[in-house]
Amino acid sequence: MAALTSSEKIRCAWAAGSTIYSTYHDEEWGVPLHGDQELFERVSLEGFQAGLSWITILNKRPRFREVFAEFDPSIVANFGESKVAELMNDAGIVRNRQKIHAIIHNAQLVQAMPAGEFDALLWSFAPAMHTRPNTASEIPATTPESIALSKELRGRGFKFVGPTTMYALMQATGMVDDHVAGCWRAIP
């Protein structure tokens, strides 16, 4: 049997109509992701997305990676006010002072953890069982696990990690499988 071409694949409805969305859906969204730096990037980008569309973040992601040192917590943790001022003048990213300060602060918290602890902490909230939705209307904005993860991270001092943002993180990093039934990426 021949492999389906990208245009023949049935995807989750949100991934239709945009090459950047379909590529993200096909290659990243819902794929289990591990690593302190990799997960720090995703927590950071989800925080920047709050109040904006995800496509805005995807379009700006190459520049985010460049100016945030590939989201290496050991580098970002040392950003000072001159770097913040530089970032506030960079139209290639979302210029929100609170969010920029939050990323630097969160990097300091990740940096203070032993290697692997941030990854283990986030994944400890992945539900043991998760029922794949049949339709997009069945996908929740939050779950008990995302609420608990948000509470844990906030308790540790993390910022821009609300329950909805944390559920989006869980979806994006494969902690839950929210590819709707019939989507070619849905895990059997």
Q: Which residues are annotated as a binding site for Zn(2+)?
A: 12, 25, 179, 183
Annotated active-site residue 24? The verdict is: yes
Q: Please name the amino acid found at residue 134.
A: N
Which alpha helices (H) appear in 50-80, and where do they start and end? 54-67, 73-76
Collect all residues with Cβ–Cβ distance below 8 Å to 142 and sequence separation of at least 6. 163, 164, 166, 167
Q: What Rg, from alpha-carbon coordinates, does the chain have?
A: 17
Helix axes 36-49, 163-172, angle to 10 degrees: 130
User: Among the options 24, 29, 41, 167, which is catalytic?
Assistant: 24
Closest CA to 106 of 154, 61, 65: 154
Alpha-carbon span 83 to 176, nearest angstrom: 35
User: Among the options 21, 29, 41, 46, which is catalytic?
Assistant: 46
Q: Which regions of the chain does DSSP assign to beta strands (E)?
A: none
User: Among the options 14, 54, 123, 152, which is catalytic?
Assistant: 54
Annotated active-site residue 54? The verdict is: yes
Among all chains, which residue has been given the structure tokens 């400890």?
A: 124
List residues with catalytic annotation. 24, 46, 54
